[in-house]
Amino acid sequence: MNERTQAIWDWFNGAPLRVLVILLIAVISHMAGHRAINRAIARLAHADLRPGPGTAKRQAERARTIGTVFSSTFNAAVWIIAAGMALGEFGFNLGPVIASAGVIGVALGLGAQTLVRDVLSGIFMLIEDQYGVGDDVHVQDVEGKVERVGLRITQVRDKKGVLWYIRNGEILTVGNKSKK
């Protein structure tokens, strides 16, 4: 090997190679985690946990919604850890960044209280199976059919055809005419 090729190899054999390995492990972890979550959610969606008429479709929808939450959380964790490790390989001091992230996290937590309340209410609403897509409900001042249930927002179409977006954290009482 000539001198220039040796210099390039020595450079690549350091931090760039380790960063490449970190990114490769992150991609493999991302794909394996996504596949594992999808398989678990598919199994949960088709399991007959609550026997009865009409519960299978609702259970499958709830499982898919919870699966997207798990998948998003897992992907964020994998890529944040990979980015931190990659920055560390280039000599970036992560101590101040982590300390700042804690302070910023507290500030965001205080500023995003309604978002957190909406998501937590959505999770509990799904777990408790208060209502689902296709149910006739009375929520706040809106009476109609549920078109979509998300972690943050529920969409209800009233009898006049108006689609209402209701934040889950604002729902204090629900009347479900479809449940018996």
**123 lies in the same domain as 64:** no
DSSP letter for 2, please. Answer: -
Q: Which residues constitute the domain of residue 66?
A: 1-92
53 — pLDDT class (breaks 50, 70, 90): low
**Long-range Cβ contact pairs of 152-156 (< 8 A, separation 24 or more):** 152/115, 152/118, 152/119, 152/122, 153/118, 153/122, 154/122, 154/125
Domain final residue, candidates 59, 92, 125: 92
The C-alpha angle 45, 50, 55, rounded to 5 degrees, equals 65
**46 lies in the same domain as 81:** yes
pLDDT score at 145: 92
Mean pLDDT, rounded, for 15-25: 88
How much of the chain exceeds pLDDT 90, in percent?
25
Mean pLDDT, rounded, for 74-93: 88
CB 177 within 8 A of CB 137: yes
Mean pLDDT, rounded, for 72-78: 90
**103 lies in the same domain as 88:** no
Length of the chain: 180
**Long-range Cβ contact pairs of 88-97 (< 8 A, separation 24 or more):** 89/15, 89/18, 89/19, 89/22, 90/15, 90/19, 91/15
Mean pLDDT, rounded, for 82-101: 84
**146: three-class secondary structure by DSSP:** strand
pLDDT in tens, 110-164: 778 888 888 888 888 877 878 888 889 998 889 999 988 888 889 999 999 999 9
* Cα–Cα distance for residue pair 14/104, rounded to 1 Å: 33
pLDDT score at 30: 94
